Structure 1
Amino acid sequence: MSEHATGPYERAIATSDREFRELADFAPVMIWRAGVDKLCDWFNKPWLDYTGRRMEEEVGNGWAEGVHPEDLERCLATYVGAFDAREPFSMEYRLRRRDGEYCWLLDNGAPFYRDGHFAGYFGSCIDVTAHRDAQRAQRILINELNHRVKNTLAVVQAMAIQSFREERPAEQSLALFESRLRALAGAHDLLVARGWEQVALRGVVEATIAPHDPDGDRVSLDGPPLMLPPESAVSVAMALHELLTNATKYGALSVPRGTIRLDWRYVPERHTVRLEWKESGGPLVEPPGQRGFGTRFIERVLAAQAGGTAAVTFAEDGVHCFFEAEARSSTSPLWGRAGTTPLTTV
């Protein structure tokens, strides 16, 4: 692009219409102007304040020095193509702000005419960085919601299939299924209260145990303060519900003298919590002929949902269960799904 005899900076100096300059300089947008040679010859005060550069640095093609290298070719192609076609254009690109940070601008340009002859282009820009960040956050939120809904539906589907597949009366199957749904809803209530970010392990444990041990003297707890991500919180709550239901019907909680000990410890190298459930004082345990729904549900579905592993054994003196799930110490920051550490078999 070649300059005319009168250069862009001289044209900038010549732009002296006082009322226009005042209006443009106090406008809430960044405004630029280009002549018929495609070279920008004027920028308003908001533009210069934004870039932190002088008029003589921006005119001509100087403004392009602030465009992000990854956006420059596309930006110039859009500008030149619209200019040659004498058509309006709208594009987004990153421009370097006076503090050195690249921010997204929405740039709208349109041709203008004097006495019926093409005279160049006027354009206006606004910073849309916050808007783009909000859109990105919304996409992440939608993807996360989709992931969580699918996980929840997978758990509900597993409960439904297994609950109604067992050879028991329909009313009993329905009652068991409703009980499990209530436990799932309770876990979700805890997460909703914390904005679906993270929840204290002890809070999940105590809330799940409370209906089965209202006096708090049958189940003893011991472990450090830990935080669980949503999937782990739901899985831990559901696994405890299955163990408590079994203990109430057949195990330690089915007799007055039976007790349960639930301990947990943090495994820092894997960023997981290892919970150990041990019943004692209950009826003599006979290993079942086949794995029941509760056992399969804990070992296959819930452990996978929590990003961990589980194992349930039927010792003669009581049911024994290990459950490992993703967790963090209470002082650790939030973590993302991509940071999940592979787990070993319990």
Structure 2
Amino acid sequence: MSERATLPFDRARCADEPDFCELAEVAPILIRRTGADRRDDWFNRTWLEFTGRSIAEEAGSGWIDGIHPEDRDRHVAAFARAFDACEPYALDYRLRRRDGSYRWIAAKGEPFTRHGVLAGYWSSGTDITEHRDAQHSQRVLINDLNHRMKNTLTVVQAIAEQTFRADRPMADAIACFGGRLRALASMQDQLVTNAWETVPLRDLVATTCAPLDPGGGRIRLEGPCLVVGAEMAVTLTMALHELLTNAVKYGALSNHTGRVAITWRTCVEAGGQRLRLVWKERGGPAVSVPVGRGFGSRFIERCLGGEAGDRSTLCFEADGVRWALDTALSA
């Protein structure tokens, strides 16, 4: 190894050389120098362009005024501890940009010496605002997914408890449970496609009905284009699945002549916009009112969240089952 390569790196000396100054001026990070008197005496061009201030305005402790009030004392205290111990420091804080907004800065500082004596600090900073925002969004997304997963598992648990009753043949229970899970999974796919926000109502109804109406000739859909939120989408999917299952077993879809009409419309009342959806069967076998209520019927009748004015009515009319839903529609 050459003698030159073994020489210690002298930061202070490099700071006085033109090449270093030119490099520091154009570096894509904020750089400032603090003297042994703890006063800042130099800022690179990137720093000054970021703050929109001159060296005279930033010098001494003037730059500290640009630190967010909530971060100022913490930054000053951390720097003072590092300076007293002659140690490096690192912290994140918010610094005011020239447009008046505050940006998160990841700062690091290193002491430098001259002739073995502390001469000051070099401090650098990188704007990490977008990175922090992305981390926050990721945390929100993970928390939201955890919440939705717990809700989904609760729904699955309720379906299982209601489906696997002691008085029900196991083969029948397994088939019913599988159908309900497939309906729920289909809805989950639509929600994922739409970023868990809203789902077009027509797509929701068509996707739910498609497995039991392959040709699309026995179930008629009619209504305006609108979207529903995630919770209502799951509720509607499960309710429609139960109605379809019953229609295939006992109702309009159990023969070759029956038909189902699913219509919806919106109206505006004092409380806001409302959705009114109707399921109506015709042409099926004669309808008789069931003696008891199974899981499907109870779910359909109680599928709403209990908001004022919401109604879910299941009627066994002579010409076919009718279900009417009247609920608030989120914007």
Asked if TM exceeds 0.5, the reply is yes
Alignment of 1:21-60 (within 5 A): 21-60=21-60
Structure 2 CA distance for partners of 1:128 and 1:309, relative to 1, 3 Å? farther
Counterparts of 1:158 and 1:201, CA distance in 2: 25
> What is the deviation of 1:270?
4.2
Contact 1:259 1:281 in 2 (8 A): yes
SS in 2 for 1:203: helix
Contact 1:303 1:324 in 2 (8 A): no
1:317 matched to 2:312? The reply is no
SS in 2 for 1:165: coil
Give aligned-pair identity as a percent.
Answer: 51
Equivalent residue, structure 1, for 2:293? 291
Q: Residue by residue, what CA displacement relative to the aligned partner does 1:3-23 show, whole Å, maximum 9, x if unpaired?
A: xxxxxxxxxxxx754222112
SS in 2 for 1:232: helix
> What is the deviation of 1:154?
1.4
Counterparts of 2:301 and 2:116, CA distance in 1: 79
Equivalent residue, structure 2, for 1:181? 181
SS in 2 for 1:289: coil
Structure 2 CA distance for partners of 1:239 and 1:124, relative to 1, 3 Å? same
The TM-score with structure 2 as length reference comes to 0.86
Counterparts of 1:294 and 1:95, CA distance in 2: 58
SS in 1 for 2:211: coil
Counterparts of 2:204 and 2:80, CA distance in 1: 61
SS in 2 for 1:41: strand
Contact 1:303 1:309 in 2 (8 A): yes
2:142 corresponds to which letter in structure 1?
A: I
Equivalent residue, structure 2, for 1:278? 280
> What is the deviation of 1:266?
2.5
Structure 2 CA distance for partners of 1:305 and 1:155, relative to 1, 3 Å? farther
Structure 2 CA distance for partners of 1:142 and 1:272, relative to 1, 3 Å? farther
Counterparts of 2:217 and 2:173, CA distance in 1: 30
> What is the deviation of 1:207?
1.4
Counterparts of 2:326 and 2:296, CA distance in 1: 16
Structure 2 CA distance for partners of 1:193 and 1:305, relative to 1, 3 Å? farther
1:118 matched to 2:106? The reply is no
> What is the deviation of 1:325?
5.8
1:183 corresponds to which letter in structure 2?
A: A
Q: Residue by residue, what CA displacement relative to the aligned partner does 1:122-159 show, whole Å, maximum 9, x if unpaired?
A: 11100000110110010011011112211211121111
Contact 1:187 1:237 in 2 (8 A): yes
The TM-score with structure 1 as length reference comes to 0.83
Runs of 4+ more than 6 Å apart: 305-308
Please provide the CA RMSD for this pair.
Answer: 2.4
How many residues are treated as equivalent by the alignment? 314
> What is the deviation of 1:100?
1.8
| Structure 1 range deviating more: 277-286 or 237-246 | 277-286
Contact 1:108 1:123 in 2 (8 A): yes
> What is the deviation of 1:90?
1.2
Equivalent residue, structure 1, for 2:132? 132
Alignment of 1:91-240 (within 5 A): 91-165=91-165, 167-240=167-240
2:300 corresponds to which letter in structure 1?
A: I
Counterparts of 1:97 and 1:185, CA distance in 2: 48
> What is the deviation of 1:215?
3.2
Counterparts of 1:107 and 1:319, CA distance in 2: 69
Contact 1:235 1:305 in 2 (8 A): no
SS in 2 for 1:285: coil
> What is the deviation of 1:324?
5.0
Contact 1:232 1:325 in 2 (8 A): no
Unaligned runs of 5+ in 2: 1-14
1:131 corresponds to which letter in structure 2?
A: H
Structure 2 CA distance for partners of 1:149 and 1:267, relative to 1, 3 Å? farther
Structure 2 CA distance for partners of 1:56 and 1:16, relative to 1, 3 Å? farther
Counterparts of 1:309 and 1:113, CA distance in 2: 78
Contact 1:103 1:129 in 2 (8 A): yes
SS in 1 for 2:108: strand
> What is the deviation of 1:181?
1.4
Structure 2 CA distance for partners of 1:34 and 1:325, relative to 1, 3 Å? farther
Equivalent residue, structure 1, for 2:304? 303
Contact 1:228 1:326 in 2 (8 A): no
Structure 2 CA distance for partners of 1:270 and 1:166, relative to 1, 3 Å? farther
Q: Residue by residue, what CA displacement relative to the aligned partner does 1:37-94 show, whole Å, maximum 9, x if unpaired?
A: 2211111111111111111111111111211122222222222232223222211111
Counterparts of 2:39 and 2:232, CA distance in 1: 59
Structure 2 CA distance for partners of 1:45 and 1:61, relative to 1, 3 Å? same
